[in-house]
Homo-oligomer: A and B are copies of this chain.
Amino acid sequence: MISFTEENYLKAIYHLIEQEGEAVTTNAIAEKINTKAASVTDMLKKLSDKKLINYQKYQGVTLTPKGEKTALNIIRKQRLWEMFLVEKLDFKWDEVHDAAEQLEHIKSDKLIEQLDKFLNYPKVDPHGDPIPDAKGRLQIQKSHLLSKFKKNDVCIMTGVVDHSPAFLQYLDKSGITLGNEIKIKEIIEFDRSLQIITGRQKTIFISNDVAKNILVIAK
């Protein structure tokens, strides 16, 4: 039986690998999980004993197939619960984090399969992140950063990089929503900030920092 804490470590490792693309360091995990490096080392030994990660002293970690499957299952649960909170309980997309963090650890296969059905088998969560299926398979959607696009390009918003409530609230206020069309009206050379037209035909200005945290697909 895998513990609450072990699950959190696996999820953190999964996300770090996803971001960095290679073996994850002890320090990176410590920072992500808000704990100390020494604690991480202890846990890495345990996860290694359970064959959930590949770990050798000082060499960083990767997930074994078993570890990755476990991580994806937790992410599946997290994203389905987020969907439930937003769709059925009227949470905003910036409010779901804390409750979903707890709900993702509930152990009941029947519960999660029925929840999936109840939500009508959603493919992405309220932030546009893909929901792994029951076998841990991810539908890869190859989104790009809005900051990579050029003047007059038109695209559809599909997700965010930064998931913080502050950023999500800013997007809400600016009328930038999942599924919305975004047209690039102008790019200011000096600071790479953008002038864009949102779905409801309003022109707004966003900084390059913001554009680097918005995921889109070309239209």
- Report which A residues bind B (CB closer than 8 A): 85, 88-91, 95, 98-99, 102-103, 106-108, 110-111, 114-115, 118
Q: Is the CB of A118 within 8 A of B85?
A: no
A106 cross-chain contacts in B, Cβ below 8 A: 99, 102-103
A89-B118, A102-B106 known; 18 new pairs, CB 8 Å cut-off, are A85-B111, A88-B118, A89-B111, A89-B114, A89-B115, A90-B114, A91-B110, A91-B114, A95-B110, A98-B108, A99-B106, A99-B108, A99-B110, A99-B111, A102-B107, A102-B108, A103-B103, A103-B106
* Whole-angstrom CA separation of A98 from B111 in the bound complex: 10
Q: How many copies of this kind of chain does the complex include? A: 2
Secondary structure of the A contact surface, majority rule:
helix
* Whole-angstrom CA separation of A85 from B108 in the bound complex: 12
Residue of B nearest to A111 (CB): B99
Of the candidates A85, A107, A108, A115, the one having the most CB atoms from chain B within 10 angstroms of its own CB is A108
Residue of B nearest to A102 (CB): B106
A85 cross-chain contacts in B, Cβ below 8 A: 111
* Whole-angstrom CA separation of A188 from B10 in the bound complex: 62
* Whole-angstrom CA separation of A108 from B103 in the bound complex: 11
* Whole-angstrom CA separation of A110 from B88 in the bound complex: 13
Residue of B nearest to A98 (CB): B108
* Whole-angstrom CA separation of A111 from B85 in the bound complex: 8
Residue of B nearest to A114 (CB): B89
A118 cross-chain contacts in B, Cβ below 8 A: 88-89
* Whole-angstrom CA separation of A15 from B144 in the bound complex: 56
* Whole-angstrom CA separation of A156 from B200 in the bound complex: 57
